[in-house]
């Protein structure tokens, strides 16, 4: 959603690189481009004015003029102010001292409240809670049925005593749902309320009645991040009519300009608490202002990537893989399938790559990436026998043709996959060798196994006056005889002194002008 804004800001900062000092004209041009980028992203005008004024004031101050790298200092200022606009600190749920904790969802119809209720329930379940979803949206057709299906997919229980479709009292359902949660020892209750296509008195009164009945610990306003400036006006209406404690942004994976997400915190004074970033139930995360600012400025979001990896990768499988790695066993296609499944459990590959720093520069290649390629690779591997997965080197022409027929791919595609897997195996072997005796493949590093090429080693030997051993046996023998003739030191003699038949130095230590008593160490004389 913030791709356009990110590209504009990144291009603006590129113009500052290489400048040892920023003139007032440079600051004015930078602030002007930032203002245009924010306005084009549909950020509210009061927010833009406050943001650019603060950036200008700080950019013309001592912290930039006295900095070693003024351009980086300006980027730091923009990042800090962007974090402040987005809320400053991460706002987490407040849980009741005496369960159950009641969370009420409010918002317009179409904002994604019902789907978000399932996502929030699944997230709470993963956090170790036992949530209950209460279906209080009895106006929209099939809203109750949708919540039941969503809850089943999320693995969360749903309380839905009324069929909906205009039948039933939502205030009564909310109260009965709270009583049911207390009896069955649920520790969190998520109340899904009705919405309208616009703000009206009936919807507001119903939300107020439910709020006064169940007395929620948190009221979350669900905001569609794609509706532009109207989202800010709707948020203000809900704040004044019902009141809410935090905002949940949905549809952040859309292609809209997304300025409302940057405006809602400053306009309403309420923090953004969660973000929905996709259609899947796992596409839901805590909203971290500092991480979102880093994404917008193309600095990546490695912390979120690490958290997703920790959830997706199984600790026992990781230990088994480490033990196999330590035992010098080859990486097999079965291992590859396990790793592929773990990576896919983390979510969209494109989203994960997008969290890496600097990925905005290759956004076109990233958008063109086809995630179905992993499905094709998995089909090829699963078309092999267990022996072929463990020992891919036995894959001859007939076996490859059979695998290609089994997975519906071409033989060349199978060949390409096996070739890339062979390269991965080779890399794993090099890593094992590196752990045992240094890091491999670093050119020119003395003492590092495999670091220097043959030509580099030959040049180093020539510089020392040494010649490499010849591959011709006759020449090699001649070289060895010449080396023995040049040697003036007998094997085993200490300190380079000529040794006699008994291995003792032939030179009298008394003639070496050694310190008193030191001659005893050289032969006991």
Residue ranges of domains in the chain, CATH in brackets: 3-85 (1.20.120.140), 101-297 (3.40.50.300), 308-434 (1.10.260.30)
Q: Are strands 157-159 and 131-135 parallel, antiparallel or unpaired?
A: parallel
Mean pLDDT score across all residues of the chain: 76
pLDDT at position 66: 63
Lowest-pLDDT range, 39-43, 390-394, 406-410, 468-472? 468-472
Pick left, alpha or beta for residue 522 (phi over 0 → left; psi -120 to 50 → alpha; otherwise beta).
alpha
Rounded-to-10 torsion of CA 194, 196, 197, 199: -130
Lowest-pLDDT range, 175-179, 200-204, 209-213, 397-401? 200-204
- The more confident residue out of 435 and 342 is 342
Degrees to nearest 5, angle at CA 273 with 271 and 278: 130
Over residues 287-331, the pLDDT tens digits come to 888 887 777 776 666 666 666 666 666 666 666 666 666 666 667
Q: Cβ(237)–Cβ(275) under 8 Å?
A: no
Q: Cβ(143)–Cβ(135) under 8 Å?
A: yes
pLDDT band with cut points at 50, 70 and 90 for residue 120: very high
Closest CA to 281 of 145, 140, 135, 126: 126
- The more confident residue out of 433 and 155 is 155
pLDDT at 448 over 50: no
Q: Cβ(357)–Cβ(79) under 8 Å?
A: no
pLDDT band with cut points at 50, 70 and 90 for residue 40: confident
pLDDT at 451 over 60: no
- State the number of CA atoms in the 13 A half-sphere of 437 facing the CB: 11
pLDDT at position 256: 59
pLDDT at 178 over 90: yes
Q: Are strands 272-276 and 246-250 parallel, antiparallel or unpaired?
A: parallel
Q: Kindly report the pTM of this predicted structure.
A: 0.63
- State the number of CA atoms in the 13 A half-sphere of 98 facing the CB: 1
pLDDT at position 471: 60
Over residues 326-336, the pLDDT tens digits come to 666 667 888 88
The rounded distance, in Å, linking the Cα atoms of 3 and 37 is 11
Over residues 265-282, the pLDDT tens digits come to 878 888 888 888 888 888
Q: DSSP H helical segments within 297-410, as ranges?
A: 302-312, 315-326, 333-345, 349-354, 363-368, 372-382, 386-390, 397-407
pLDDT at position 125: 92
pLDDT at 163 over 70: yes
Lowest-pLDDT range, 75-84, 185-194, 428-437, 490-499? 490-499
Quick one: three-class SS letters along 58-118?
A: HHCCHHHHCCCCHHHHHHHHHHHHHHHHCCCCCCCCCCCCCCCEEEEEECCCCCCHHHHHH
pLDDT at position 132: 94
pLDDT band with cut points at 50, 70 and 90 for residue 347: low
The 3-state DSSP composition of the chain as helix, strand, coil percent (nearest 5) reads 55, 10, 35
Most confident of 53-62, 218-227, 401-410: 401-410
- The more confident residue out of 456 and 234 is 234
Q: Cβ(463)–Cβ(472) under 8 Å?
A: no
pLDDT at 44 over 70: yes
Please give the average per-residue pLDDT across 224-233, as a whole number.
Answer: 74
Lowest-pLDDT range, 19-28, 38-47, 77-86, 203-212? 19-28
Which tokens go with 36? 């245009």
Please give the average per-residue pLDDT across 179-192, as a whole number.
Answer: 92
pLDDT band with cut points at 50, 70 and 90 for residue 124: very high
For residue 141, which phi and psi values (nearest 5 degrees)?
-60, 130
The rounded distance, in Å, linking the Cα atoms of 103 and 73 is 41
pLDDT at 477 over 70: yes
Closest CA to 263 of 233, 218, 299, 301: 233
The rounded distance, in Å, linking the Cα atoms of 204 and 241 is 6
pLDDT band with cut points at 50, 70 and 90 for residue 183: very high
Closest CA to 73 of 29, 39, 30: 30
Q: Are strands 101-106 and 218-224 parallel, antiparallel or unpaired?
A: parallel
Over residues 54-74, the pLDDT tens digits come to 888 888 876 666 655 777 777
302-312 vs 333-345: helix crossing angle, rounded to 10: 120
Over residues 423-434, the pLDDT tens digits come to 877 877 776 665
């Amino acid at each position: 959603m913030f791709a356009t804004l990110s590209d504009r800001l990144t291009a603006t900062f590129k113009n500052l690189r290489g400048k040892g000092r920023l003139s007032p004209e440079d600051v004015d041009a930078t602030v002007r481009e930032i203002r245009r980028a924010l306005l084009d992203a549909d950020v509210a005008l009061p927010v833009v004015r406050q943001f650019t004024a603060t950036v200008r004031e700080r950019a013309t101050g001592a912290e930039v003029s006295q900095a070693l790298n003024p351009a980086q200092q300006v980027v730091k200022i923009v990042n800090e102010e962007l974090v402040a606009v987005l809320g400053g600190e991460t706002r987490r749920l407040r849980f009741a001292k005496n369960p159950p904790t009641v969370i009420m969802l409010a918002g317009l119809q179409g904002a994604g409240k019902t789907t978000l209720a399932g996502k929030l329930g699944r997230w709470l379940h993963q956090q170790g809670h036992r949530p209950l979803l209460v279906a209080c949206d009895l106006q929209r057709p099939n809203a109750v049925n949708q919540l039941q299906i969503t809850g089943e997919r999320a693995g969360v229980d749903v309380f839905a005593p009324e069929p909906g479709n205009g039948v039933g009292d939502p205030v009564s359902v909310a109260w009965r749902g709270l009583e049911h949660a207390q009896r069955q020892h649920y520790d969190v209750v998520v109340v899904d309320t009705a919405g309208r296509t616009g703000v009206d008195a009936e919807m507001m009164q119903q939300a107020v009645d439910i709020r006064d009945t169940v007395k929620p610990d948190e009221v979350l306003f669900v905001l569609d991040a794609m509706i532009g400036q109207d989202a800010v006006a709707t948020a203000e209406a809900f704040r004044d009519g019902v009141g809410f404690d935090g905002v949940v942004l949905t549809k952040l994976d859309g292609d809209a300009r997304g300025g409302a997400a940057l405006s809602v915190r400053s306009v309403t004074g309420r923090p953004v608490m969660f973000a929905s970033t996709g259609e899947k139930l796992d596409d839901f995360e805590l909203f971290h202002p500092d991480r979102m600012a880093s994404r917008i400025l193309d600095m990546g979001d490695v912390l979120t990537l690490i958290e997703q990896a920790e959830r997706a990768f199984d600790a026992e499988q990781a230990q088994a893989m480490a033990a196999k790695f330590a035992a010098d066993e080859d990486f097999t296609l079965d291992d590859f399938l396990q790793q592929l499944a773990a990576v896919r459990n983390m979510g969209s590959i494109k989203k994960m790559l997008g969290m890496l720093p600097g990925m905005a520069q290759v956004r076109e290649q990233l958008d063109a990436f086809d995630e179905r390629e992993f499905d094709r690779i998995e089909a090829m591997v699963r078309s092999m026998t267990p022996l072929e997965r463990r020992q891919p080197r036995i894959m001859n022409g007939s076996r490859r043709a059979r695998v290609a027929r089994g997975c519906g791919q071409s033989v060349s595609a199978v060949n390409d996959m096996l070739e890339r897997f062979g390269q991965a195996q080779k890399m794993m072997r090099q890593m094992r060798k590196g752990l045992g005796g240094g890091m491999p493949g670093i050119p020119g590093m003395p003492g590092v196994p495999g670091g220097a090429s043959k030509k580099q080693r030959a040049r180093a030997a020539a510089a020392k006056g040494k010649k490499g051993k010849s591959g011709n046996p006759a020449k090699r023998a001649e070289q060895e005889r010449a080396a023995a003739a040049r040697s003036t030191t007998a094997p085993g003699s200490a300190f380079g002194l000529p040794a006699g038949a008994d291995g003792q130095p032939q030179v009298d230590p008394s003639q070496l002008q050694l310190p008193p008593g030191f001659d005893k160490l050289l032969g006991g004389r």
